[in-house]
């Protein structure tokens, strides 16, 4: 259940609870006031009748028999109604009490019937028809329920709209957080009131700032290590290359040359990442990707190369050489040698395609989404080559696609915008 839904339900429950409490309290106060007034009315009539019986007044009317809603009786001690004659006696209640035994609701009360001398002759009983009063209660209750429902719906709609508006900065902050690149975290922009969400945004930005500071420190240390490795490795690799040319039949020397070359290329990948070169804008130059592919293929004798004409692109020849080399190195490692590794290059008007195939063990389908993750590897090594290659491709406006079949090998395809497409894009902008 989302936070918005939980808060909406909570607001609705609180609103309904408040309305129910207010309506119930208003209804109870009305009923209490109504009962108080009706009982006072019955008590006053009893008092009037008692006074008239004890102190008769010439011309005064004892019973208001024609008064609508009232029942007044003089009842003897044995329970016989003296006035009005022949009537059924009202129930005997000392205090005003609601009674429905007469087929209609009556508020009934009684007081002693005393003669002028003070002797008790019976009781004076009074009943007031409260049908209209009870109907007024029911009408009030219906009105309270109906108005409460309308108020609840209106208030709920306004509350939900206000809640959605209040949560909008939080949703925007969550959207920015989901889009944060772990390799290059950027601070979140918060536009909203100074409230708890603003505090959360400040905490998030502080965490991101700490991550960036930590990354910069790690990059600096990694760059220093990679630089320290690159210089001696370049020297060792150069000497081994020269020795391999003069002693081509020495398998151990060739293996040492290849190992030194791999270490040198890995150190170059580390240095590229450590310096943050993949986050910097490219200095675009026009070059033929076919020349880059041919140069890399010559570094790995036995790799087959098929080029269908020139393939001019705009970008960095050095970075693209690193990309092609990483793909070829990955294919050679997967195949256990250069045999079966094939590089193909062709171009259309819009795109340039470079494909590297191998005949290795292939990649299981569940692992394909992770092949470009940094430090992810299935055959040992640093796990940097494919990650760096993908980032270089994207830096050039392209991407690398992978397809693989277990037991038959893998195919990595670089798709880049052609030079013509770049020119059209530039002119359109």
For residue range 237-252, what is the model confidence (pLDDT) as tens digits?
Answer: 666 767 767 776 676 7
Q: Which of the four pLDDT bands, split at 50, 70 and 90, describes residue 92?
A: very high
In sequence order, what E strands does 84-153 have?
97-99, 106-114, 120-129
Could you give the CA distance from residue 390 to residue 326 in angstroms, rounded to a whole number? 10
Q: Which of the four pLDDT bands, split at 50, 70 and 90, describes residue 260?
A: low
In the chain, the percentage of residues whose pLDDT exceeds 70 is 78
Could you give the CA distance from residue 297 to residue 291 in angstroms, rounded to a whole number? 10
| Pairing, β 342-347 against β 304-307 | parallel
Query: 200-226 pLDDT, tens per residue?
Result: 788 888 888 888 777 777 666 666 666
Could you give the CA distance from residue 343 to residue 260 in angstroms, rounded to a whole number? 23
Query: 361-381 pLDDT, tens per residue?
Result: 988 888 888 888 876 676 555
Please, where in the chain does CATH 1.10.287 lie? 197-275
- Measured between alpha carbons, how far is residue 166 from residues 52, 58, 127, 133 in Å? 72, 78, 60, 47
Q: At what angle do helices 317-335 and 385-395 cross, to 10 degrees?
A: 150
In the chain, the percentage of residues whose pLDDT exceeds 90 is 29
Query: 98-129 pLDDT, tens per residue?
Result: 999 888 999 999 999 988 888 899 999 999 99
State which H helix or E strand residue 243 sits in: helix 196-246
Residues contacting residue 44 through CB under 8 Å, at least 6 positions apart:
none
Question: What torsion do the CA atoms of 48, 53, 56, 61 make, to the nearest 10 degrees?
Answer: 60
Query: 158-197 pLDDT, tens per residue?
Result: 877 877 777 777 777 777 777 776 666 776 777 777 777 7
Quick one: tokens of 189?
């922009």
Residue 293 burial (10 A CB sphere; 0-12, 13-18, 19+): buried
- Whether 62 shows a pLDDT value over 90: the answer reads no
State residue 124's pLDDT score. Answer: 93
3-state SS class at 81: strand
State residue 128's pLDDT score. Answer: 93
pTM: 0.49
Block residue for tokens 């003669």: 115
State residue 130's pLDDT score. Answer: 93
Query: 388-426 pLDDT, tens per residue?
Result: 889 889 988 999 999 999 988 999 999 999 988 887 776
State residue 228's pLDDT score. Answer: 58
Could you give the CA distance from residue 37 to residue 51 in angstroms, rounded to a whole number? 21
Please, where in the chain does CATH 3.30.565.10 lie? 282-428
- Whether 64 shows a pLDDT value over 70: the answer reads no
Bigger pLDDT: 64 or 370?
A: 370
- Measured between alpha carbons, how far is residue 4 from residues 132, 172, 196, 331 in Å? 47, 14, 15, 50
Poorest-pLDDT segment among 33-37, 88-92, 237-241, 423-427: 237-241
The CATH number of 197-275 is 1.10.287
Listed residue (95, 118, 124) closest to 107, CA to CA: 95
State residue 268's pLDDT score. Answer: 66
- Whether 322 shows a pLDDT value over 60: the answer reads yes
Is the separation of the CB atoms in 240 and 256 below 8 Å?
yes
Say how many C-beta atoms besides its own lie within 10 A of residue 9's C-beta.
Answer: 11
**Mean pLDDT of all residues in 14-30:** 88
The CATH number of 282-428 is 3.30.565.10
């Amino acid at each position: 259940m989302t936070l918005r839904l939980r808060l909406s339900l909570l607001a609705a429950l609180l609103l309904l609870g408040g309305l129910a409490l207010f309506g119930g309290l208003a209804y109870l106060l009305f009923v209490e006031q109504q009962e108080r007034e009706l009982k006072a009315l019955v008590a006053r009539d009893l008092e009037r009748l008692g006074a008239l019986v004890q102190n008769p007044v010439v011309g005064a009317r004892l019973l208001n028999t024609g008064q609508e809603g009232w029942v007044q009786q003089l009842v003897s001690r044995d329970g016989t109604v003296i006035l009005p004659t022949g009537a059924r006696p009202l129930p005997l209640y000392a205090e005003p009490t609601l009674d429905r035994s007469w087929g209609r609701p009556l508020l009934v009360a009684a007081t002693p019937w005393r003669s002028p001398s003070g002797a008790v002759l019976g009781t004076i009983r009074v009943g007031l028809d409260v049908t209209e009063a009870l109907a007024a209660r029911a009408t009030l209750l219906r009105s309270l329920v109906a108005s409460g429902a309308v108020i609840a719906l209106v208030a709920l709609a306004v509350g939900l709209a206000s809640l959605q508006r209040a949560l909008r900065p939080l949703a925007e902050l969550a959207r920015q957080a989901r889009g944060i690149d772990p390799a290059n975290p950027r601070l979140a922009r918060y536009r909203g009131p100074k409230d708890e969400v603003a505090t959360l945004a400040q905490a998030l930005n502080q965490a991101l700032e700490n991550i960036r500071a930590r990354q910069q420190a790690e990059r600096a240390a990694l760059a220093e290590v990679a630089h320290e490795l690159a210089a001696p490795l370049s020297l060792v690799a150069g000497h081994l290359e020269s020795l391999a040319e003069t002693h081509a039949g020495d398998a151990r020397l060739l293996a040492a040359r290849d190992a030194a070359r791999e270490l040198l290329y890995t150190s170059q990948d580390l240095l590229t990442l450590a310096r943050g070169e993949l986050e910097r804008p490219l200095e675009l130059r026009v070059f033929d990707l076919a020349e880059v592919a041919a140069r890399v293929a010559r570094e790995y004798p036995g790799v087959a190369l098929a080029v269908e004409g020139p393939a001019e692109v705009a970008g960095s020849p050095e970075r693209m050489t690193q990309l092609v080399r990483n793909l070829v190195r990955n294919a050679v490692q997967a195949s256990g040698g250069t045999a079966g590794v094939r590089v193909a290059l062709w171009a259309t008007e819009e795109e340039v395609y470079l494909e590297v195939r191998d005949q290795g063990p292939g990649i299981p389908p569940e692992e394909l989404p992770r092949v470009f993750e940094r430090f992810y590897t299935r055959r040992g090594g640093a796990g940097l080559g494919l990650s760096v290659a993908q980032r270089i491709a994207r830096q050039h406006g392209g991407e690398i696609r992978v397809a693989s079949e277990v037991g038959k090998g893998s195919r990595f395809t670089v798709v880049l915008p052609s030079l013509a497409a770049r020119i059209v894009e530039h002119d359109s902008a």
